[in-house]
Chains A and B, each alone.
Chain A
Amino acid sequence: MSALIELAGVTKVFHEGQHNALVALCDVDLALEAGRITVLQGPSGSGKSTLLSVLGCLARPTSGRVRVAGEVVSNLPEAFLADVRRRTFGFVFQQFHLIGGLSARTNVMLPAYPTGRTHSEIARRAAELLGQLGLEKLTDARVEWLSGGEQQRVAIARALINDPRVVIADEPTANLDSALSAEFLGILAGLRDEGRTVIMSSHDPRVCEAAVVDRVVRLLDGKVEA
């Protein structure tokens, strides 16, 4: 069976052609199967976040080829890359990155704004997702009033609003205590059981060794360790 996401010879150079050029990813070959929870592990600066943004269509590789569901995306211009990204990926960031001053529901709805769906359709789906994550009472609360754990669940709901096949999480447990981390892993397991693929980065050994994790990929200095 072919992989959901395939990287072949992917290199990412920052500040290319300048004196401070930095090779963040070097000739990475990687295949990620659908329906699994994969963890990227590696020390700080090893390129985990960079790899997540390349395979999540947030950034284009400097060279090499990225395929998502069989489709080459590494040569897509930004507008279409964003389109693939919206349809395929949902993101959960370490800092949650919610927009203050807006309600939880509006925050969840935002990724769907450019898709052309109607407001009521998106709002309904957002309420549904917040309900599933146990936040039905807080849909209209402004996000800055929520606790850290609640904020993260809002961020997860937001990642799911466009019904993505893949959920990408960068260091999702770094800001959580161990109880919340365990809860978070439980939610991820639920997502996997719905048939979604989960890819996350972490240098937390408790996460890498957790029972729900299917696969761990180790990174060092921009290279994947065998």
Chain B
Amino acid sequence: MIFQKSVLALLFASAAGALGALAAGPHALAVWRHWDLETGRARQLRLERRSSLVSTGMSLLLVVQAVTLLLFVFNADRMASQFVGAMCAVGTLQVDGFGFPALIARIAVFFGSGIWLAMNAVDGRCRDYPLTRPKSLLLLALIPLLALACGLELAYFRGLRPEVITSCCGSLFSSGSPAVTGDLAAWPVERAMPVTFVVLGGAACLSAWVARHGRGGLALGMAGLLAFVVALAGVVAFVSLYVYEDPRHHCPFCLLKAEYGYRGYAFYVALFAATAAALGAGALAPFAGRGRSPASAARLQSATRALGGVALGGFLLVLLMTAWQITASGLTLFPHG
């Protein structure tokens, strides 16, 4: 089903991202090898000039990549009506074997882009461009990732045939499922809930500390990643139950449906933004200390602070939404609690 407008738009956006990164590849390589701000030689001037193009163009393309993750999920959810057996995005994603790999690749692209965008933004504000070389290395690493995401997406959309009978969240996210999703669904609520709250709370506290001191980005990056994984597991294990008010419905995708007021989007956008900010802070950390000019060091610190602030906001929102979900739900899992 290539001939569908959102499919065409998604494919176009990811192809543009992959091709753009590919086109920027030689420049990134040249920067990695020859970048030297101390000289005013012709080559350096050429590199600097090109950098302004690459950083503007890639910023644009990578912001688009982040937005298309949203469109990708939205599209999967909407196309569910066209497949027998599909009730939500899971059904569409399972029509062929490439749906979930494509989604995971998109998520990886999202975080990679987030880190690159954070580095790019900080780099442009420092007089000695301290991140230009690492940034181009990251760009080089993003090329295969973007290409992979694009290829998986193409394979996924090509495999979407209306006659396929697919299976939906009911089987994938049930405690009987042999996949890891089954284990998550089987994670007992009385254990999952405290773990989720503690990890998310810890990440929020760490974010607050980073937002205040502008240090500790590395720890925040790791904590953010952990919180991301645990939050997703928590959604499968118990948040979903409270949302659907059904003790057996563990799907993390049905949250996105209109029936639940699209609250899934609010939840996931906050979680993804917080995690991306935490990862961004983590990516800046290695460059904070080492003999940079004091002005750059200050810039890096204030950027780390800002990212910490975003992470704090995001994790707090996630915590609040989760807590609200539990209290507002008509479902009681702990009769005496």
Residues of chain A at the chain B interface (Cβ within 8 Å): 13, 15-17, 60-63, 74-80
A216 CB to closest chain B CB, in angstroms? 27
Main SS class of interface, A: loop
0/1 string, B35-57, CB within 8 A of A gives 1: 00111111001001100100000
Q: Which of A17, A61, A80 contacts B40 (CB 8 A)?
A: A61
A61 CB to closest chain B CB, in angstroms? 5
Q: Which of B40, B45, B48 counts the most chain A CB atoms within 10 A?
A: B40
Which residues of B are found within 8 Å of A17, using beta-carbon distances? 42
Tell whether, in the assembled complex, residue A16 and residue B42 are in contact, meaning their CB atoms are under 8 Å apart: yes
B40's nearest neighbour on chain A, judged by CB, is: A60
Tell whether, in the assembled complex, residue A16 and residue B37 are in contact, meaning their CB atoms are under 8 Å apart: no
Tell whether, in the assembled complex, residue B127 and residue A80 are in contact, meaning their CB atoms are under 8 Å apart: yes
Tell whether, in the assembled complex, residue A60 and residue B45 are in contact, meaning their CB atoms are under 8 Å apart: yes
11 extra interface residue pairs, beta carbon distance < 8 Å, beyond A76-B127, A77-B37: A13-B42, A15-B42, A16-B41, A60-B40, A62-B39, A62-B40, A62-B41, A63-B40, A74-B40, A75-B37, A78-B49
Q: Report how far A75 CA is from B41 CA in the complex, Å.
A: 11
- Is residue B330 contacting chain A, with contact meaning CB distance below 8 A? no
Q: Report how far A77 CA is from B40 CA in the complex, Å.
A: 10
> How many B residues touch the partner, as a band?
10 to 19
- Is residue B97 contacting chain A, with contact meaning CB distance below 8 A? no
A14's nearest neighbour on chain B, judged by CB, is: B42
A19 CB to closest chain B CB, in angstroms? 14
Tell whether, in the assembled complex, residue B42 and residue A77 are in contact, meaning their CB atoms are under 8 Å apart: no
Which residues of A are found within 8 Å of B40, using beta-carbon distances? 60-63, 74-75
Q: Report how far A78 CA is from B52 CA in the complex, Å.
A: 10
Q: Report how far A63 CA is from B39 CA in the complex, Å.
A: 6
A18's nearest neighbour on chain B, judged by CB, is: B42
Tell whether, in the assembled complex, residue A77 and residue B129 are in contact, meaning their CB atoms are under 8 Å apart: yes
Which residues of B are found within 8 Å of A60, using beta-carbon distances? 40, 45
A168 CB to closest chain B CB, in angstroms? 19
Q: Which of A63, A74, A75 counts the most chain B CB atoms within 10 A?
A: A75
The 7 closest A-B pairs by CB, nearest first: A60-B40, A16-B42, A80-B127, A75-B38, A62-B40, A61-B40, A75-B37
Tell whether, in the assembled complex, residue B48 and residue A77 are in contact, meaning their CB atoms are under 8 Å apart: yes
A204 CB to closest chain B CB, in angstroms? 31
Which residues of A are found within 8 Å of B45, using beta-carbon distances? 60
Q: Report how far A61 CA is from B40 CA in the complex, Å.
A: 6
A11's nearest neighbour on chain B, judged by CB, is: B40
Q: Report how far A17 CA is from B46 CA in the complex, Å.
A: 13
Which residues of B are found within 8 Å of A16, using beta-carbon distances? 41-42
